[in-house]
Amino acid sequence: MLEFLSKLFGRDSGSSKTVAKERLRLVLVHDRSSISPQLLETLKAEMIQVISNYMDIDEQGLEVSLDSSGNSVALVANIPVRGMKR
C-alpha cells in the first residue's frame, strides 16, 4: 500500500536507499522463514506457470515476497492480470 502511495505522489521508489532497505527486509524475512531465495524464485516460476493456464498475466510486473508478522510468515503475491483465458 505504501509503495502504491509513493508511486501516486511521485516519490522515486528506485532510489538506492529504498532498494537497499527492501533488500535488507527480504533478507531478514528469508532468514526468519528458513526459505532460500532460490526456493522463492522456483515458487514464483511455478505460480506463473499455473496461473498462466487460466489468465493472461503481466509476468514482468509480478511480485512475490514473504512478509513476517510476529511469529508468522505470509506469502504475498501481486499478480497483474490482463485478462481471462477461455
The number of distinct structural domains making up the chain is 1
Q: Which residues contact 82 (CB under 8 A, 6 or more apart)?
A: 55, 56, 57, 58
Note the pTM of the prediction, 2 decimals: 0.52
According to the model, what pLDDT value does residue 56 have?
93
Q: So what's the pLDDT on residue 11?
A: 53
Range of the domain at 68: 14-84
Give dist(CA 36, CA 46) in Å, integer.
Answer: 16
Q: Which three cell numbers stand for residue 29?
A: 524475512
Q: What confidence score (pLDDT) does residue 10 get?
A: 55
Identify whether 27 is part of a domain.
yes
Strand duo 81-84 + 55-57: pairing = antiparallel
Low-confidence ranges of the chain (pLDDT < 70): 1-14, 26-34
Give the pLDDT score at 8.
54
Q: Is residue 37 part of a domain?
A: yes
Residue 69 falls within a domain, yes or no? yes
- Residue that has been written with the C-alpha cell 527492501 in this structure: 22
